[in-house]
Amino acid sequence: MCGIVAAIGDIDVSSCRNMLHRIAHRGPDDTGEVRKHNVWLGHQRLSIMDVEGGHQPMTHAPTGTYLVVNGEIYNHRHIRQDLGHALFETGSDSEAALHALVIDGPAGLARLRGMFALAFATEDGDFLAARDSLGVKPLYWARRDGVTLFASELRAFDPADRPLVETFPPGHCWSPEGGLVRFADAVPAHVRPARRAAEPEWDSSLVKAVREAIVSSVEHRMMSDVGVGVFLSGGLDSAIVAAVAAEYAARQDQPLPTFAVGSEGSSDLLAARHVAEYLQAKHHNIEHHEIPMSRQDAVEALPRAVRAIEHFDPSLVRSAVPNLLLAEYASQHVHAVLTGEGADELFAGYPYYHQEPFTSPEALQAELVRTVRELHHLNLQRCDRASMAFGLEAREPFLDRDVVEFVLSIPPEYKMVRPGVPEKQLLREAFDGWLPNEILHRGKEQFGDGAGAKELLEDAVRDLPEVAAADGVELRNREEAGYYAIWKRELDGIRPSATLGLFATT
């Protein structure tokens, strides 16, 4: 996990370096840059794989090519086998992306399984930028006369360029010659149509397949040379991730740090403690950490959270405050953490999925697909920024490409609530016996609410100034108007309609 900046065209090297400096928090371990003709690449590194040999920009001297990557390529070992180990000079997963592009050109992006935003260049000045299909890793760009700029965060851009900044679309690549081209879809066409289930109940083979897909994804995301922890909210999704990770770590004879945050007596803190104690009794490798959150902690973290997530949506801000405190503490112990992001969007965990107008299988399927495709505007933005504010990599096993395609191909009837069948029942059955029953059957509670942030922030919201919205953004309530005031102060010049896609689509 890192931060990248790239430019092609009429380059101002000093400006590019300033952009990179503004996102130094994303990669505190190393920095690097390269200029070739009209291309400049910059990289801030968080060292996780091949700590000694993974410096970027990565280069392949025989072909005169250069690469900067923000993310992780989880299938890098398979790519090494396919392309030949003799090509590789480091143990970095990013080198797999370099050689895939050298050998296959833009088509090599199809080889990559993982989360990434990258920029690739040659000695002759050829250039390619790309972002993973779900947009797990952020990428923004600004196009003006003579130059095109790319960066991992909005704040990287110079104030003069901020009105031009747009979200680089997930699953796309761009080159000066070919323009913007889609190379992958977050939800491929063959999994989009709702399929009518012949029977209202699923069989054991589907339960087993769900479990195996998630276990495999978690195990792939344990890849690290510096250790991995788990953000444990005590909810079903993060508890499942922790249970699988604990079993995997025990087989490797490794400890598993888990991290929970909340106000005193909050439901998340108590539930996470229960999960940690259960897994410790089972595997004897859990190192559980609790981060208490007082009202003062929450109020002081509020402007930092808005600035970090580059967003003002109330549900995201309420979640970001405890997320930021959690990441700040966890970054002192590990370089990477697993999270439960994405499970609700795949298995219909939110209450609104089971209300009108989504009560038919077809409507539910369409809404699940829509929200998966919009994750990069919402929870993934919050998760990435809150963790990377402290140079901490967040990994989301539920958003593995194979998991997404498989779970969205399951008949939507199996995700619908009916008498005796709560939300996410299929997921609960898949991990029966892996967790305490109280956790396995715990109802849905938003992260910020379960951690107590909503209550702690109520007074702070009343004290925030209100400002008028701009660019056609409708501020939906007093709370959002207060957060927008912070957002506008911290990201002056950014157009909300260009960067906060949910407001343009809802």
Residues recognised as catalytic = 2
Decide: 362 and 413 in contact? Cβ < 8 Å.
no
Decide: 138 and 470 in contact? Cβ < 8 Å.
no
**CA dist 223 to 49, 217, 249, Å?**
8, 11, 11
Q: Which tokens in the block code for residue 186?
A: 């977050």
Label residue 179 exposed, middle or buried (CB < 10 Å: 0-12, 13-18, 19+): exposed
Question: Is the dihedral angle over the CA atoms 379, 380, 383, 384 positive or is it negative?
Answer: negative
Decide: 369 and 192 in contact? Cβ < 8 Å.
yes
Other beta carbons within 10 angstroms of residue 449's beta carbon come to: 17
Question: Is the dihedral angle over the CA atoms 426, 409, 222, 449 positive or is it negative?
Answer: negative
> Which H or E run contains 204?
helix 204-220
At residue 8, what are phi and psi to the nearest 5 degrees? -140, 135
The Cα–Cα gap between 118 and 116 comes to: 6
**CA dist 295 to 262, 290, 480, Å?**
11, 16, 19
Pick the closest to residue 335 from 45, 32, 55, 110 (CA basis).
Answer: 45
Query: What secondary structure, in 3-state letters, does 247-294 show?
Result: HHHHHCCCCEEEEEEECCCCHHHHHHHHHHHHHHHHHCCEEEEEEECC
CA 237 remoteness from chain centre: 15
First to last CA, the chain: 31
CA 45 remoteness from chain centre: 17
DSSP bridge pairs for 289: 259
